[in-house]
Every structure is written in structure tokens, then in C-alpha cells.
Amino acid sequence: MALTGTKRSPKARSATRPASPREISRIDEANVGRLGLISIQERVPDSFTSWTVDFHVEGRPARLSCDAIPKYGGVPHGLDGDISTALIDLYVEDGCPEDGTLHTTAYQILKRAGLHDSGRYYQNLRQTLFRLRTSTYTASEAWRDHRRGNWTTVTFNYLEALEFTSGDEDLGLSRSSTLKIRLASPITKSIRAQYTKPLDLEFLTSLDRPLTRALYRLLDARRYPPEDPREPLASFTVNLIDWAEACKIVDRRSNKIRSTLQGAHEELMERQYLSAVEYEGRGQKQELTYRFADLAGQEESTLPDSPLIMELEEYRVSGAVARRLIEEYGEKHVQERLSKFIRLLAGGFKARNRSALLVDIIRDSDDKYPEPDAPREKAKKKNSAPPSNMPTLVEATDEPQPLEAQVEAALKTLQFLLRERLSVSEYALLRMGMIVGQPDPQEVTRLASRAKVEGSLDAFTAGLLQHLGHLQAAQSSGT
């Protein structure tokens, strides 16, 4: 029996189609994607606190288990998959620090996960982070050590450390909360060893349901073999009960499994990721075959090659990606962002992957990449009074943005540049200061970027901390 169509009408954001492999610049850690650490179900009973899956890897027995506690709602599930994906993406964007530490905000996590910025989602985020911190995974002969080329046993919590500031009286998370998170060592080591697969984050976050997003991520890990991720499979066949175990579905009766997956199957076909879903057999011997949509036709474009496309290709951006960016953002925007990318590199900006950085700069809508001062501006300042490390108020030279957007963009940049130089509470104080213009968000990011280029971040941080200390004292005294 096959599902070859859907009955649901397209949603507002259903225009986003899956990208071809050559168009994807984001990545996912391959062990996490393949093992499916998080149940695809949107809700599970609080009493569902453990699961164990036995399977074979290259003909050898392997086992994956999870042990959680009822206090935080059982095993990781539902939206936890969106949050964990966002954390990995933010970690990679930050340059994959060796200690696995990520400085971010609650707002940035929700935004990256494609979730709403509302009180309920901040509550869900807090619950998710505690589940990921307290649930223990054991992968027995099931975790790929890519450097050594063998399968190992690892035990870990998805989050090894969690620290955050609370923005309300309930000691929960809010838009003003800043966080310091350390991801599991096996995951970060694997990412740095480049045991990864392509991840179409834009398509993933456009899907409507958490269950669909989780199933998509699990299917995509099967579709793209990490050994050769640029050659996606045309189909994938699996025993229905085995697939329910891989999805961490609570009720393993065949009719319940099919019912649980039905909506996700329909959405993935509607969105042209799957061409068909086929069932064969009865009961526990049923087999499920996923047929993936052909992505080859998506690389075709009527846009002819242009000098701009050729320029992008010089930085290892594929022609298909270049055409898609120009079609989506316009030639003028792409040319301006390419020029900005070149100026950043000339100013000393270090990039682990230049093509991925260029694509992200073109797509960036949060001003994540402030430029260092131009040479003429530096010379003018050199002939005037000596520059101070203390941020000051200046007129904005860019198009005006809402204050909160300016603050969030500035804080993200400062967290990337300063990292451990500020504590979680000091980042929270800095955020509060920028809201009242002390310091000005755009000016402090300019000064921090210049300090990075000049190798004076420690001195800059000392001046910034002194300023924040005065600001905190003034707030305490009510002046």
C-alpha cells in the first residue's frame, strides 16, 4: 500500500522546498542524526523515562539507551529536537570552540529553532534544556569515532553544563536571559572531526509540526550517508517495528505506529521531500519504504551565468547556490554582501569555512558581522584624541532597526568575540545596558571588532567591565 498524495491544503510557509545537496551550507553531526536521540513524538507520559534500542552496525550488535527523570517530563521528545538542532547550529556558527562552550541568549535559540518568541516557548525552552542536561545516553558500540575509523561506546548528557540568568520572578527564561551551555564532548569532538552531513535548516524550520521536523531529520540522516553525503539515496526500506524503535514511539502496535507517522508523511510529501511512502506486509513483519523526491531538477535555473556568479564560485560557492541566492535576494544585495565579505577578510576576520561564511553573510538579517573601521576613519581618529576603550553613544550610520533587534544582533556579535571574558550575568548586564544606550549597541560592536583586529580584546573587555560596574552602581543607587 502506498501514499502518493496528500489531502491537506498548503500552509503559508510551504513555499520553501528542500534544497539540493550542493545548495546546503549547514551541517548536522552524523551520529546524532543517525541514532535519533530524541523521540519524534510531540508528547510522552512523564513516566516514559527510559528506552533501549538494540540493532546492528556493520554486522555487529549495538545498543542505544536513554535514562531520564519524571521531574522534567520524561525522555527528550518533541520540541527538544528543534532546540538541540539549533544548539548544534549555533555551536558550528561560533567556530566550534574546543571546550564545547556556547554563549547565547534564549531569544537566539528560539529564533534559530524557528520557534515563536512568546512566553510559552520560553517555558518550553527551560524544560527542554533541563531534559537535555539530566537525561543520560549510552551508545554501546554504536558511536562512530571518525578520527580512528571505528565504533565505540560513549555515555553522555546532551548538555554537560548549563548556566543562565532569569528574567522574571519565577526564575525561568525570558527574552532577556543569557546562557552559557557546554555541549556533550562526544558530539563536539565528532563535529570537529567532520563526521557530519548536510542539513537543510531553512527547510527543516519551515515544516509545521515538531513530529514532522523530527522525522525529517531522522530520514535525512539515512538519506545522506556520512561517508559520501553528496550522493543522497533514492529510497530507504525498514521494518515498521524497527522504525518505531528508531523514532522512539511509545506505543509499538503497528496500527498506532502508522497513525503516529501519518501526518508527518503527508506533510513531507506535500512539501516535495518524499515522493511516496509504501507499506508492505502485515503486523510486525510490515516493511516501510520511503521514496525520496528527485532533487536533481531543483538545480536547474533559467538564470544565465553572470560575472557575479563567477565571483561567488571563486570562493567555492557552487553555481546552483549562487543562482539561488541571486534569485532570492537580488543581484545588488548579493554584490554588496560579497564586498562586505571581502572587506571582513581583509580586516583580519578568521573563517573556518569561507564559502559557508560568505553564504551566511549574504543571508544575514541580524547584522551579525560588523565591519572593522575603514582605513580613512582610522587615520582620522589617530590624528584626533586617543581612542578610549569605553563605549560611547554615536549616531547610527546604517538603516534604523528596532531597538531590540539592534541589541540582540550586537549581543550575539559580542558573545562571539568576547566568549569567556564575560560571565553569564555580565552578558545579561551588558544587554540591559545596551537597551538604555549605555553602551550604544552599534558603537560597542564596532569597538569590539576593532579590538579583535588589533589584538586588544583584553583591554577592551577591562574598559567595558568598568563601564558596566559604574552602570550597575548607578542603578543600585537609583540615580
The predicted model gives 436-443 an average pLDDT of: 89
CB 18 within 8 A of CB 212: no
Q: Which helix (H) or strand (E) holds 257?
A: helix 254-270
pLDDT band, residue 391 (cuts 50/70/90): very low
294 grid coordinates? 528527485
Q: Does residue 401 have a pLDDT over 70?
A: no
Number of neighbouring beta carbons within 10 Å of residue 207: 25
pLDDT band, residue 140 (cuts 50/70/90): very high
Q: Does residue 1 have a pLDDT over 70?
A: no
Cβ contacts of 351-354, under 8 Å, gap ≥ 24: 352/95, 352/96, 354/315, 354/316
Instruction: Give the pLDDT score at 380.
Output: 44
Distances (CA, A) of 49 to 41, 44, 154, 243, 462: 14, 9, 20, 20, 46
Q: Which helix (H) or strand (E) holds 144?
A: strand 136-145
If phi over 0 gives left and psi between -120 and 50 gives alpha, with beta otherwise, what is residue 277?
beta
How confident is the model over 268-279, as pLDDT tens digits? Answer: 999 989 999 999
pTM score, whole prediction: 0.75
How confident is the model over 291-344, as pLDDT tens digits? Answer: 998 865 554 444 456 788 888 877 777 676 787 788 888 999 999 999 888 888
How confident is the model over 333-380, as pLDDT tens digits? Answer: 999 999 888 888 877 777 666 777 888 899 888 777 877 654 444 444
Instruction: Give the pLDDT score at 386.
Output: 35
Q: Does residue 89 have a pLDDT over 80?
A: yes
- Indicate the burial class of 402 (C-beta count within 10 angstroms; 0-12, 13-18, 19 or more): exposed
Q: Work out the percent of the chain whose per-residue pLDDT is above 70.
A: 84
Identify the three-state secondary structure at position 320: helix
Instruction: Give the pLDDT score at 264.
Output: 95
The predicted model gives 396-408 an average pLDDT of: 63
pLDDT higher for 377 or 417? 417
